[in-house]
Structure 1
C-alpha cells in the first residue's frame, strides 16, 4: 500500500527560517554582517530537519554569537515568495529581549561584525523584505501581538 507515502512525497516543500530580534537600551536592533553574502541579517538561520523554528532560533544565536538567550514570544510570521533559485518559505521572528553591549565574538565564522542600528540606519544593508519584517517585529512588540507578513509587508487577515 503506497498511496499515503506517494501522496506525502508529492506534497510541496517550503523553506523555514527563524530569527531573533535583539535590541539594546535605545531599542536599536542587532544586525549581523555575514561573511558569505552582502545583505545583513538578524541572528538566525534555516530550520533543520526535525527541528522546531524556536529551537532553530535559539541554536543559531548560540552558533553565531555564542550566547544562550531566553527566547521570547513569536513576533512575526512572514510568507516569502519564491525568488532567484529559492522556493517560497516561511520566516519566523522571535523576541530575543535586550543586550547591554554589542557582541564581538562570532564562534561559527559566518559573521564578520554585529551592530545595533535603527531600521533607517540599516536600510542600505538590508533586503527590502528584511527591513519590512524587522519593522513589523518592532510593531508587534509595541502592539503586544504577533503579525503576519507577505514578503516583508504586513498583512491584515
Structure 2
C-alpha cells in the first residue's frame, strides 16, 4: 500500500516541548530518615504544628534532590549533621484529603547510640520532642500510613533491600 505525503512535516504533529511539559502530572514529594536504636526502636519527632508524630523529614523543595531534603530536614529538626544512608523505601501515595498523589522516600539513618540521641538539639519550636518507640508504640502516635511505611522500612533495613510500597504497604 502506498501513502502520499500531504506536505506537512512531522514536526507539526508534535507538541512543542514546553506544551508537553506543562501538561505533565504534578506529584508532591517528601523524604524522611529512619533512625533506630540498638533495640530496633524507631526515632519519632513530635511536631508542634500537628497532632501526629513523624520521622525526621519533610517536603522536597523545587530543584532539590530527595537525599538533600532528607539531610536538610535532619539538620533543621534535630540540630545535628547525621549521616543519611541508602534508600530504604519508595512509597506511592494516592490523593487523600486535599493533597494530590505523591511519592515518599525513606532513607536509612542507621543506629544511634544513647549518647547521640541525648545530644540532639530541637530547634525553633518546630519539634517539641524526639524519642525512640517500638513499632507498636509508634502505631499509636503516627498516622496508619506512616506506621505501615515504618514497618516496611525496618524490614528493608534488615534485608539490605529497597522496598517499593503503595500506601505504605510493601508491594516489592
TM-score under structure 2 normalisation?
0.86
Count of equivalent residues: 156
Measured in 2, the distance between the counterparts of 1:11 and 1:105 equals 40
What is the aligned partner in structure 2 of residue 126 from structure 1? 142
Compute the displacement of 1:27 (Å): 1.5
1:135 corresponds to: 151
- How far apart, CA to CA, are the structure 2 residues paired with 1:145 and 1:21? 14
1:2-47 residue CA offsets vs partner (Å, 9 max, x unmatched): 8211111111100110000001121210001110111110000001
Could you tell me which of 139, 153, 157 is aligned with 2:169? 153
Distance across 2 between alignment mates of 1:122 and 1:55: 26
Aligned twin of 1:85 = 98
Name the CA distance, whole Å, in 2 between partners of 1:114 and 1:71: 18
DSSP-derived class of the 1:149 partner: strand
Larger-gyration structure (1/2): 2
Which structure 2 segments of 5+ residues have no match?
A: 1-11
Q: 1:3-152 alignment to 2 at 5 Å?
A: 3-101=16-114, 102-103=117-118, 104-152=120-168
Mean alpha-carbon deviation: is it higher for 99-108 or for 71-80? 99-108
Q: Is the 8 A contact 2:49 2:126 kept in 1?
A: yes
Residue 67 of structure 1 deviates from its aligned partner by 1.1
Report the CA distance between 1:123 and its aligned residue: 1.2
Contact 2:28 2:102 in 1 (8 A): yes
TM-score by length of 1: 0.94
Equivalents in 1 of 2:138, 2:17: separation in Å?
47
